[in-house]
Amino acid sequence: MPPLQQRITFRLALENAPGMLGAVTSVIDELGGEVVATERTHEQRHVVFRDVTLDARDEQHADDLAVAMVDLPGVELLAIVDDVLLAHEGGKITVENTREVTGPEDLALVYTPGVAKVCRMIADDPVAAYRLTIRSNSVAVVTDGSAVLGLGDIGPLASLPVMEGKAMLLKSFGGVNAYPILVEEQDPDEFVETVARIASGFSGINLEDISAPRCFEIEGKLRQRLDIPVFHDDQHGTAVVVLAALMNATRVVDKELTDLRVVVQGIGAAGVAIVNLLRAAGITDIVPVDRDGIIEPKRRGTDPIRFRLAKQVNPRGLTGDKDVALEGADVFIGVSGPRSLPLELVQTMARDPMVFAMANPVPEIHPDVAGDHVTVMATGRSDFPNQINNVLCFPGLFRGLLDAAATRVTDEMKIAAAEAIAGVVGEELAPDYVIPSPFDRRVAPAVAEAVSAVAREQGHVRPGSRGSLESESESAMHAAARRAVERALEREAARGTGDFGVPKRAEPTDDGGAAEQDADAEPTGEQGEPER
C-alpha cells in the first residue's frame, strides 16, 4: 500500500492531570496513526494546551483519529492543522523582480520613459522580445480541468493547485518561469482559439490534464497554428520516461530495443503517445490492448485515433484477448487500471520479462505479486524501485527548448531526452535501478543539453534569439543595427536635414544664388568623381 500520506496536527486542550498526554498517544497508536511530535504551547491552572503532530494513512483515517480525540475524556479538540493545506496557503508560486526599483533613475529605466525604446524595438523586430523580455523563459501551463489526476472533470478552477504544482516543478528543476492558465472552455476549437490568442507572451505551451480524445485534437491544432513548442505532458512526458526506462531495462536483460515484442495496455492519452514514441525509437512489434482485448482496425466502435494506431502496429496481425498478445511478449506497459494483469499471464511472457505497471495508486500487478516472475519491474509509485515519473522529463525538456528558442517539439528531441535520462543511471544499472530518482538533480541539465542540441541540429530555432547559433545571432544583431540607422535616416529626411541632423550648407551657383550640399560631402573633380 502507499506510504503514510496525511500529516496533521491536533491542537488539544488537555485536563492538567498525570497521564493525559499518554492517553492521547495511546489512542493514536491503537488506531494505526504515528505520532511525530508533541509540543506544549500554553498552560493554565487546570488546562494544558498541546499540539500533537501525527501521520495518518489517508484523509479518512485522519478523520477517524479526530473523532477519537473528541471522544476521549478530559480532551478537547480545538483545531486540526493539515500540513497539505498549510503547504498551499496563499498559493505555491509568486513573481519576483530581476531588478530593484529604488529611485527615479530605476523607474525611468524599467518603466516610462525608458521602456518605450524597448517597445519600439520589439514592434520593429518581434524576435527582440526573446532578448529583452520575460518571454524567453516563460511557459504557459494550460488546462480545462477535464482530466485532473484521479479526480476527473472537476473544472479549471479546482485544478489550479495542480497547475501551480506543475509550475513549481518547472521552476525548481528547470529554472523555467511557468504560469497556470485556466480555460473555461471544453469545445476544442474555442479552446485552441483562446490559447492561440495569448501565446505571444510565452515561449512554450504545456497542456495539462485535458481529457482524451479532445487532447489529441487540441494539441494537433495548436502545433499547426503556433510557432512555439506545444507539449501535452500527460502524453509525451510519460512516453519519454517509459522509453528511458526501457532503454536501460534492455541492457539489464541483454536484449535489443528494436527486437522487443511490446504490449501496451490502456490506449488513452499516455498509451497512444507511448506507442508512437516507441515506434519512432525503432520498435515495430507493438500490440495495443484494452479491456476488450487486442485493438484491431476492424473492431466495431473503434474511434479514429485508435483505428489509425491499430493500422500502424501489430505486424503479426494478432487477434483476440490480451492473453494472445502477452504470450511470448518481452515487455508489458500498463497505463490502465488496478489489478488488471493476472500473474498467470505474466508467466506466459518471454524470458526475463519487463513489466511497467503504472496505474496509480494501485498498479496493474503489484510488485510483491509479480515477485521473481519479472526481471525488471517499474511502477508509478515512489515507494517501489524504478518509479516512472514525468518530472524526470518536462522540466529539463522545456529548459532545453527555451535555451534553444525552439519553434517546435519533435520525436528526435523526445528520444534525445529519453537517452539523456537513461544515461544518468550509468554504470549503477541494475534490475531495481533502470531509471533515476525524480530528485536526481543531474537529470534536468542532461535533458536540457540533449534537447537544445537536437533543436539546433534540426534548425527548429528562432534566428536572432538567444537560442540560435552564434552566426545567426550576429547576423540578426547587424540587421537590427542596420534597421536602426535606416529609421534615423528616414526621420531626418522628413525634417529636411542631412544625415543624423547635420544641417546642409549652401553653395554658390552661377546666378549668385546658393545650392544645398551635405556639410560632409566630398569635393568633386571635373567629371563629378570624388577627388583622390
Kindly report, residue by residue over 265-278, the tens digit of the pLDDT: 999 999 999 999 99
Q: What pLDDT shows up at residue 308?
A: 92
User: 334-345, pLDDT tens digit by residue?
Assistant: 999 999 999 999
Give yes or no: residues 370 and 419 share one domain.
yes
Q: What pLDDT shows up at residue 527?
A: 41
Give yes or no: residues 339 and 388 share one domain.
yes
Q: Which of 209, 228, 247 is where one domain is finished?
A: 228
- Taking Cα atoms as reference points, which of 35, 85, 26, 84 lies closest to residue 55? 35
Q: Give yes or no: 130 in active site.
A: no
Give yes or no: residues 207 and 248 share one domain.
no
Q: Is residue 257 part of a domain?
A: yes
Q: Which of 176, 205, 228 is where one domain is finished?
A: 228
Q: What is the CATH number of the domain that holds 197?
A: 3.40.50.10380
Give yes or no: residues 121 and 44 share one domain.
no
Q: What pLDDT shows up at residue 466?
A: 62
The rounded distance, in Å, linking the Cα atoms of 215 and 230 is 12
Instruction: Determine whether 470 is exposed, middle or buried from the number of CB atoms within 10 Å of its CB (0-12, 13-18, 19+).
Output: exposed
- Residue bearing cell 487500471: 337
Identify the helix (H) or strand (E) that includes residue 508.
Answer: strand 505-508
Give yes or no: residues 40 and 125 share one domain.
no
* Contact (Cβ atoms closer than 8 angstroms) between residue 312 and residue 281: no
Give yes or no: residues 504 and 413 share one domain.
no
Q: What pLDDT shows up at residue 524?
A: 42
Three cell numbers, residue 337: 487500471
Q: DSSP class of residue 301?
A: T
| Ordered alpha helix ranges (H), 115-226 | 115-124, 129-132, 160-174, 188-198, 214-225
Q: pTM, whole model, 2 decimals? A: 0.84
Give yes or no: residues 304 and 446 share one domain.
yes
The rounded distance, in Å, linking the Cα atoms of 356 and 501 is 72
Q: Is residue 142 part of a domain?
A: yes
Give yes or no: residues 321 and 435 share one domain.
yes
Q: Is residue 286 part of a domain?
A: yes
Q: Is residue 108 part of a domain?
A: no
**Average pLDDT score, the chain:** 90
Dihedral (CA of 308, 223, 405, 395) sign: negative
Q: What is the CATH number of the domain that holds 332?
A: 3.40.50.720
Q: Is residue 357 part of a domain?
A: yes
**Backbone dihedral angles phi then psi of residue 34, each to the nearest 5 degrees:** -130, 115
Total number of domains constituting the chain: 4
Residue span of the structural domain in which 487 resides? 472-517
Give yes or no: residues 347 and 433 share one domain.
yes
Q: What pLDDT shows up at residue 522?
A: 42
Dihedral (CA of 341, 344, 349, 354) sign: positive
Segments of the chain scoring below 70 in pLDDT = 1-5, 464-477, 496-532
3-state secondary structure of 302: coil
Q: What is the CATH number of the domain that holds 83?
A: 3.30.70.260
Q: Which amino acid is at 291?
A: R
User: 125-137, pLDDT tens digit by residue?
Assistant: 999 999 999 999 9
Q: For residue 84, give every residue at least 6 positions away whose Cβ sits within 8 Å of its Cβ, in sequence order, or none.
A: 6, 7
Give yes or no: residues 372 and 404 share one domain.
yes
Q: Give yes or no: 166 in active site.
A: yes
**Backbone dihedral angles phi then psi of residue 193, each to the nearest 5 degrees:** -60, -40
The rounded distance, in Å, linking the Cα atoms of 196 and 373 is 50
Q: Is residue 105 part of a domain?
A: no
Give yes or no: residues 246 and 215 share one domain.
no
Q: Is residue 264 part of a domain?
A: yes
Identify the helix (H) or strand (E) that includes residue 29.
Answer: helix 20-30
Q: Is residue 487 part of a domain?
A: yes
Q: What pLDDT shows up at residue 476?
A: 62
Q: Which of 195, 228, 261 is where one domain is finished?
A: 228
Q: What pLDDT shows up at residue 486?
A: 80
Is the N-terminal amide bond of 104 cis, ω within 30° of 0?
Answer: no
* Contact (Cβ atoms closer than 8 angstroms) between residue 156 and residue 145: yes
Distance of CA 216 to the CA centre of its chain: 17
- Residue bearing cell 506545444: 230
Give yes or no: residues 350 and 275 share one domain.
yes
Three cell numbers, residue 200: 505571444
The rounded distance, in Å, linking the Cα atoms of 274 and 332 is 12
Q: For residue 459, give every residue at least 6 positions away whose Cβ sits within 8 Å of its Cβ, in sequence order, or none.
A: none
Q: What pLDDT shows up at residue 470?
A: 52
The rounded distance, in Å, linking the Cα atoms of 221 and 213 is 13
Q: Report long-range pairs for 494-497 (Cβ below 8 Å, ≥24 apart).
A: none
* Contact (Cβ atoms closer than 8 angstroms) between residue 393 and residue 450: no
CA atoms within 13 A on the CB side of 371: 7
Dihedral (CA of 273, 439, 457, 230) sign: positive
Three cell numbers, residue 499: 544625415
Q: Of the residues 166, 221, 255, 414, which is catalytic?
A: 166
